[in-house]
Structure 1
């Protein structure tokens, strides 16, 4: 199985790429790498022998022959367009997500406490939980379902601490 992720270094695309690589799946990433965050995320997956990167879709099409077992996942607006060739297409609407490498500025939060409150107020789903549900659906060909959100404030706070460390790393790059 081979999966093309576009864009692979958007924060959600990165989590998709990383999760699929951890499952041993060959991933082709398409991303122009236009900022320091994309460049940093590339370092986390770029040496994986199951990963190939192309700056544009046309580059991939010129260098990789499409096969019948190839899937494509495109991040579009507020969802994922998942397709296999011309035969199968599925739209997965993403819930409001939070997690490592997200753009915290979009939440308006100035500190960890404000971000925890934003997550609780908006009932945002943790990216890891979303990826678990996506992989179950994708690999097992099951209907996509994100489980019920059962996080308490302590779990959210731990996750926000990890998210904040990523944010600090980006600011230092």
Structure 2
């Protein structure tokens, strides 16, 4: 199955493409167009994989599935049988399923030693909100793969951690609670170790207080 990932150079897009390739999918990636602060070097990790191809925004191919991180660009939506949008401003495209995953974290994200950026907001790793709601990218991708096989019939889905106490005892159809394979503090330490090792390649950020 072919999947278009846009932008594949976004840190979430990178992890999606990497996981899909590992699972045997054919991935067509479009990179992020920015003058600075991007992660275009991440594309280099895919170049030797025969199931990956870097595309341009001008191509007119049709795809079974397209996954967009943050905003959906202006494209002919009839080219895609299914569309998923993860975060960003919700699109008005009718055949797109919007996935709201506000507390995702993982390697290559905009971050500092103390926390991450969720949109324009800075959230510390030690903050109660993050420790309760943070979802590691690998755990999210396990749920995403299930959706690719059997997508729920909703136009909007919200992703939350099983640690989110405010959801305990509630049955909310459009909210999916993601299980974690490793405790969040261990995942945070893993991400920090990666950040310290490859900090020069991470997107430059200015902490806003």
Residues 146, 25 of structure 1: CA spacing in aligned structure 2 closer, same or farther, 3 A cutoff? Answer: farther
Partner of 1:48: 49
Structure 1: state its 5+ residue gaps.
78-82, 109-113
Give the superposition deviation at 1:142: 4.7
Residues 30-62 of structure 1: CA deviation (Å, up to 9, x unaligned): 114545853320111122111111242x1x22x
Structure 2: state its 5+ residue gaps.
72-79, 84-93, 118-122, 158-175, 204-209
| TM-score, normalised via structure 1 length | 0.71
State how 1:26-65 maps to structure 2 within 5 Å.
Answer: 26-32=26-32, 34=34, 35=36, 38-56=39-57, 58=58, 60-61=59-60, 65=61
The structure with the greater share of residues assigned to helix is 1
Give the superposition deviation at 1:73: 0.9
Give the superposition deviation at 1:95: 2.8
For the aligned residue pairs, the C-alpha RMSD in angstroms reads 3.1
Confirm whether residue 24 of structure 1 aligns to residue 24 of structure 2: yes
Partner of 1:80: none
Partner of 1:74: 68
Match of 2:137 among 114, 122, 127: 127
Distance 2:31 2:184 in 1: 35
Match of 1:157 among 189, 204, 208: 189
Distance 2:184 2:134 in 1: 12
Considering Cα pairs closer than 8 Å and 6+ residues apart, tell me whether 1 or 2 has the greater RCO: 1
Distance 1:170 1:159 in 2: 12
| TM-score, normalised via structure 2 length | 0.60
